[in-house]
Every structure is written in C-alpha cells, then in structure tokens.
Structure 1
Amino acid sequence: MNLDADGFIGTLLAIEGISDARAVMNGPNGCRGNPAYFSDRYFPRDNSLNRRSFEEPFFFGQSRIPCTYLDSDDYIHGSTQKLREILPLIAEKGDAFLAVVNSPGASLIGDDLNRLLNEARLDHVCMAFEGAAYSRPLPEGFDEAITAILRWLRLNRLPRMNNRVNLLGFSMVQKYWQGNIAEIRHLCGLMGLTVVSVPGAGSSVSELRESTTASCNIVIFPEYSRQTAEFYESEFGIPAVYSHEGAPVGFDATEAWIRTVAVATGRDPTPALDEIRTRRTHAFHRIARYHHEAGYPKGATFAVRGDSSFALPLTMWLYEYLGMMPVSVDIMAGEDPNAAGCLQGYLAANALSVAFGADPAVAGPDMYFGDDLSGKDLVLSGRCRKSVDIFNRTTGDIHFTERAFLGGAGALWILDLIFDVVKDFP
C-alpha cells in the first residue's frame, strides 16, 4: 500500500509555503480537506485561529485552501459560475499572490482559467494551474510549481551580491523544516552569508522577488528543487551549489557541506567548522559517559525510507560514526539520481547491498527512520523498537522548542533519539 502524497499535493504545499500566498482549489471539498488542514498545522498564519473570518462560502470554516466545492452538475456544465463567485471573495483577503489549482477531476472539464482571471481583473495577482503533477511524486509537483510561480512573478533583474544566497529544496512536508532552515541560516551566517529567500518554505513574495540578488543557490534537497535551480541559472545566471555528500545530516556530511559552500562562495569556513567540531566534541564526551552507563548502539540495526539526499548521509553517518547496521534502505519516488547512485554504491562497497529496497517488516530493525504511519505499524506489531518520523504526515508530537535534523544541532538531536532507545537494550 502506497501512503505517499503525490505531485498534486506538492503543488498545493508549494503555494501554501509562500508566507503571503494562497492556493485556491477548483474541485470538490473532499480533495481539499487534508492539504488545508496540513498547511494550517505545519505553517499557520497569524489569522488561522480567527475562524469567524472564514465562515463565508468556499472556506467552510478553515483558513487555508478555499475551494469551489464542485458537484456532479459542475462536471457537466463547467465550473465557471463558481469560479466567478469565489475569486472576488478570495481577493478581498489581501494576499500578495493567489493560485487557482485544478483538482484531477476539474482538469478534465476544460474551463479556461486564465480567461476567467482576466475577466475578474485578477490576472496581475493570480495565476492558474490548469494541471498539476497528478500521480507523480510529491517533490516533482513541488519543484514544478515553484518554478512556474517564479516564472509567473517575472522576478526583477537586480545586481547580484557576493554575500547573498538562496536555499532551495525545503518544504513543509519535511519534519522540523523550520528548525532545519534556522540551522542552515546559522551556519551560513558564520561564513558571512545572508540567506535572501527559501522558495516554498516560509519566504514571502517580496523575498522571492529579491532572490535574484543572490550570488548562488545552495541546493539542500535537489529532489524538490532541481528545476528551480535550472530556472535561476538559465534566466538569471545564478549558479547552483550541490553537495556530493547529500544534505548536511550528521557531523561528516555537515563539514563536507560547509566546505563545499565556502569554496563556491569564496567565504572562510573556519567559524562554521569550529562550531561543528565543538558539537562533535560535546557528543564524544556524552557518548563516552553513556557507554559505561547505558550501552552503545554499535551493532544495532536500522531502516531508512526517505528522500535520497537525506537517506544517503544518514545511512553513512549511522554506519560509520556509531557502527549501526542498515538492514533496510529505501528511497522515495522522485529521487535525485546522483544521491541514489551514491547510496547504492556505498552499500555495495560495504557488502550491504541486500539492505537496498529490503522490506523493513521482514528485516525487523531496532530503529526505523521514515514516515510515522509506517513506523507506528512496525512498532505496534513488534517488528521495530523505535520509529523516528522524518516527514510531516500525521499530527505527531507537540514541541515548543525548535528542533532540526540538519547541521550540528540536528546531529545532536538524532543522537538523543538513538541513545534514548539503546539505554533500554538488554
């Protein structure tokens, strides 16, 4: 059973990930419920608790992703009338950017959305997605949507500044996405770099317009941003920076990422590397102490199912740094070819090829890194000791402190999770 959201959801989340943008779904209310709740849960707006502001038609009491609630008659006669009714109401909310997105069924009706936007005199603030990446991987839909939005915005051609960068590949579907961005901003700041924008992950329309001042784009998760990076390079000459080690997960990959960024931007990596070494030393002292008190994870087994650029550095770090054994490594659809190839090559070089694509339910790992639904099934059925959610899928735990999986802070948090499990090993 495939529990993964598709590119249609990726399109909606890309729009809703812009802080002053709003997705408008042309479709039935049933298609809208989950992404509307998800957006409000993982990227709430200041007005999200004021339910009375969203009692009018098309919102149904939810602050995000209003929809035309198409019924059977609309699929015969068209959705034109409902779109004419909804667009003025949505425009009154004052968002800087709107995007009408056809649901899979609505895309078959054939309504001319661009003509309707022109008639409503909203074509200067609203674009149309007459089709989306239906049934394709979520990262593809996200990437295509961000690229289309940037192209539609007609970004200003501004002078580039050598201390400015954009971060590409973040999405609210990723666990601790805001904490991850904060950690990467911090590391960039230690190298004297300012982050101008993070398209689709918290930045505003004005920040997106300013994104062309960046000297380069730092690609963290290429699955979600390869087309976006190509757009910036072809249209504005802004080069993309990729790390061959994947995302900065764990100490080694983070240090490699810092050096890669420093070379690409001409900055001094020393302050950032010093911080990672400080965190590494802190981890060493804690591990040495817990080794005598509560055991050590060497030999413990783990399974990973995630984006290729995350699964690669996590697998390498757990295997090399802690001596844990991968028994199941699976990558999500829409993988980055380079990261996927490196991961398979790494497993083969260490006689671990049998783990690639293995079923975690059969492998029975001590720890599972993946989506929460699959993880809970493994834990409740006794086939896994601990599940670590690396995606925002369910409501999950409530946290009041900002956490991260990336950088030095992320490495320490992953160690927290692992050693909390191994202390209970017999």
Structure 2
Amino acid sequence: MTGVTDPDILTGMILGAEGIPDIMVILNSPTGCKFYHGHIAHLKRNESEISDPYLRPEPWFFGQSRIPCTYLDDQDYIFGTHDKLEKILDYMKNRWDGLIVLINAPGASLIGDDIKKVITDMGMEKRCIPVEIPGYSSSAPIGVDKMLVRILEHIKPSGKPENKINLIGLSILQRYCEGTKKEITSLLEKSGITLLSTPGAGSDTEDLSLSSGALLNAIVFPEYAIETANYYYNHFKIPFILPKDGAPIGFDATRSWIADICSFLGKEPFVVNQEIHSAEKTAASNIARINAVSGLPRGSGFAIRAESSLAFPLVKWLYTYLGMIPVGIKLTDGSCRTYSEKLINFLQENHLDNCLGIFPGKDPDIVFTDGTTGSMMKNLGICRGYIDISHPPSGKIEIIPKTIFGITGSLMLIEEILNILR
C-alpha cells in the first residue's frame, strides 16, 4: 500500500517542545507549516480554549492558541526574515513568561538568517532556544529526542540526588500519551517506585531542572529516548534501562519491563505481577467464550505498521498468546535497530519472515496502525477493522484517557480485537 506518510522530524521537534507546559514554540515559516502543528499542539495539551480567529485576533497566531509563526512570503525568501523575527520575539517576550523555542522550518533554514544573533541582539538568549536547522528527512521520534536534549542543554539541570526515577521515551506526539503515563506511573507506584519527571510528557522546566537527581531513567518507547538517555548518562551518570522485550505492550512485555526496573532498584513487583495474573484470567475467560463459538481469534490475520520497539512485543504477544498470524509487518522510519533484529529473529524462528517489509499483506482481519490509515483501509474493505496505535488519529472523539501499554492497555487491545472479530 502506498501513500502512507509518517510525521517527520519537524513535527517531532515542535511537539517534543510543546510537551513541556511552560514552553512556547515559535515557527519561522509560512503559515502553511503552522496550522496543522498548532491544531495538534492545542489538542495534545488539552487546552480548553477554542481556536477561533474572532476570539484569537492576535497577530502571529492566526486564530489558534499555539505555534505562532512569522508567516513568511516570497519577499522574505529574498530579503531575509530578520525584521519579522524581531517583531514576533518582541511581541512574545511580554506575553509569555516561560521559555521560547524558535524553530526554523526547513525552507526558512535555507534563507541563511542568523536567528541566534537576533535572539542575542534582543537580550533573550536566556529565554529563547534557537533551532536553526531542524533536519530534513528524519523521523518524528528522532525529532522529539533531539529537541529534548536541546532543551536540557539550555536548562542545565542541577537537581540534588533523590530516590526517584525519570520516565523517558514518552511524548505528546504518541497515541494515548496521557493514559500511558497514568498507567505506567501506577505500575511503578505499586512497586514502590516514585517518579521525579517525565520529560516531554507533562513535566515543566522546573521538573526538568530537578531531573538530574534521578536514580535511573526508565525508557518506555526507545525510539523517542536514546539521545535523551545518553545525555543524562554522559552529564550526570544516570543509568538507563533499555527494555529487553521492547515497549510494555502485552502481558509478557509489561511483566518484563517492570521486572527489569524493580531488579535494578532492589524492589519486588509482587503487586503488579498479581494484577497481571488477574488480568490474564479475565482475558482468558472472554477469549474462551468467543473461541468456543467461532475458533477466533486463533488463526486470524493481522498487519502492523509501527516502530520496532512496539512492533516486536506486539507481534510476539499476538502470535504466542492469541494465536493470530502476521500477514504484513512494516517498520516505520527511525525504528530502533535492537528491536528490529529481535523481531527478525522471532519471525525466522517461527517461519513467518515472509510477512516482513510488506503492508498490509494478504487479507488481514485486523490492522494495527495510525488511525487515519486504519480508517481508510477499513472503508476500502482491505480489513475487517483496525486498532489505532499511533499518530495521526482517526479523529474519533475521546474523553476518557486510554492506553495500549501496561495491564490496562493489554485488556483494551484484547477487547478491541474480540469486538472486531466476533
């Protein structure tokens, strides 16, 4: 299938910064680069204000609450953007108390304006972080990771040692970030582990300044966190755990993820293991009820398009726990090589490697992908249904925080699968 487009490094950088509540992103770009990102940032930050040009008449914002931009035109590409940069920074410095991240859009970066000099000339070097060249062809997870490192370098964390951990590899760019953070925090707290910060997923700059005092960095989604983890290790000697079975999706990977962290900290995940066992019993009774009538979900075909740290545990769990058969697996750009290799090995051991690198494959019953692609494929009759596991979403209104990770996420995935197949 062609025509599937993933968010790029610019989107990753913008939403990586917007995941920190007291940071505002300014985009040096035409208005066309601004509206999508402004809309997504508004939704992901759960802001109550309505984007309306009549309610938000301020210059630079164009009716939206987030991502003001310099609305570059043809004259700016010839004569430069210096004047507009000065005007937007002068406007924002008196209306926004927090940090500002000024990002050149890829096209604007070719103009050659020295945005660092503009910031310095206005005396805003302590409040404004310049990103002159965001990158051109890399993936969104890399953008999130690089942006967080850039912000940490500016903040220069100086927290005192605490008996707490940082949760890294979460981003508001991810599907169900709020629900995932809630679920993972709950698993940690039930194991006697306290969070210090969640960079890029709700922690403000004060939290980030204290984050250097953590005992450990626990990684949820490796593609979004490798550079961040290395930054903390190189500057503060904070160790990190790369989950050996990938992101905590499915019962087995969740059990493995929490066990690794507890082992490092000398804790015992007794309560979490009990809850996983209870959830497995609940799932088994519902699966047996469907299986007794139709034999499903065993033998059903599925296709996945995702990062390798998500695809590996999900493919493994669906195949070994539910008996479902992969017919198409496509890893997105920026996938972590470690999990790509683990996935390849698993598929080869089970003689399933013919499905790797194709999407959606032959007659999938269920497709695990972003909501926009999944909705299109269902409408075209390519699959019976889809499960929305990544950005961009399908547009369905969601009020209750959800997740595909942890115990709650495992049960939600089983519920969705059974409802599609029954």
Change (3 A) 1:52 1:19: farther
| 1:351-406 deviation line (CA, Å, top 9, x unaligned) | 0000111231x412000001223222322222211111111314521122121100
8 Å contact kept, 1:11–1:133: no
- Please state how far the C-alpha of 1:155 moved relative to its aligned partner: 1.1
8 Å contact kept, 2:248–2:254: yes
Cα distance in 2 for partners of 1:107, 1:271 equals: 52
Cα distance in 1 for partners of 2:279, 2:232 equals: 35
Between stretches 350-359 and 38-47, larger displacement belongs to 38-47
- Please state how far the C-alpha of 1:236 moved relative to its aligned partner: 0.5
> 2:43 matched to which residue of 1?
41
Question: Where do residues 229-248 of structure 1 align in structure 2 (5 Å cutoff)?
Answer: 229-248=229-248
1:185 aligns with 2:185: yes
Change (3 A) 1:217 1:121: same
1:370 aligns with 2:369: yes
Residue segments in structure 1 that go unaligned for 5+ positions in a row: none
8 Å contact kept, 2:251–2:407: yes
8 Å contact kept, 1:294–1:422: no
> 2:419 matched to which residue of 1?
420
1:153 aligns with 2:155: yes
Secondary structure, counterpart of 1:411 in structure 2: helix
Secondary structure, counterpart of 2:106 in structure 1: coil
Secondary structure, counterpart of 2:25 in structure 1: strand
8 Å contact kept, 2:180–2:402: yes
Q: For 1:346, give the aligned amino acid.
A: F
Cα distance in 1 for partners of 2:400, 2:293 equals: 28
Change (3 A) 1:53 1:232: farther
Q: For 2:173, give the aligned amino acid.
A: V
1:14 pairs with 8, 13, 16, which one? 16
Q: For 1:171, give the aligned amino acid.
A: S
Question: Where do residues 86-101 of structure 1 align in structure 2 (5 Å cutoff)?
Answer: 86-101=88-103
Secondary structure, counterpart of 1:302 in structure 2: strand
Q: For 1:160, give the aligned amino acid.
A: P
Between stretches 304-313 and 291-300, larger displacement belongs to 291-300
Secondary structure, counterpart of 1:315 in structure 2: helix
Q: For 1:77, give the aligned amino acid.
A: F
In the superposition, the TM-score normalised over structure 2's length comes to 0.96
Secondary structure, counterpart of 1:22 in structure 2: strand
After superposition, the CA RMSD in angstroms is: 1.6
8 Å contact kept, 1:22–1:95: no
| 1:27-68 deviation line (CA, Å, top 9, x unaligned) | 100111111111112223355568767311111110110000
| 1:321-365 deviation line (CA, Å, top 9, x unaligned) | 0000001111110011111100011000000000111231x4120
In the superposition, the TM-score normalised over structure 1's length comes to 0.95
8 Å contact kept, 1:246–1:253: yes
Cα distance in 1 for partners of 2:31, 2:51 equals: 21
- Please state how far the C-alpha of 1:2 moved relative to its aligned partner: 4.4
Cα distance in 2 for partners of 1:299, 1:47 equals: 47
Cα distance in 1 for partners of 2:400, 2:47 equals: 19
- Please state how far the C-alpha of 1:291 moved relative to its aligned partner: 3.1
Change (3 A) 1:294 1:90: farther
Q: For 1:161, give the aligned amino acid.
A: E
Cα distance in 2 for partners of 1:215, 1:53 equals: 46
Q: Percent identity?
A: 35
Cα distance in 2 for partners of 1:287, 1:149 equals: 46
| 1:284-323 deviation line (CA, Å, top 9, x unaligned) | 2222333335652000000000011110111000000000
Question: Where do residues 27-426 of structure 1 align in structure 2 (5 Å cutoff)?
Answer: 27-47=29-49, 54-156=56-158, 158-162=159-163, 164-292=164-292, 295-360=295-360, 362-394=361-393, 396-423=395-422
Change (3 A) 1:260 1:246: same
Cα distance in 1 for partners of 2:254, 2:61 equals: 43
| 1:222-278 deviation line (CA, Å, top 9, x unaligned) | 111100000000000100111110011111111111111111111121112112112
8 Å contact kept, 1:51–1:63: no
8 Å contact kept, 1:27–1:67: yes
Q: For 1:62, give the aligned amino acid.
A: Q
Residue segments in structure 2 that go unaligned for 5+ positions in a row: none
Secondary structure, counterpart of 1:363 in structure 2: coil
Number of matched pairs = 420
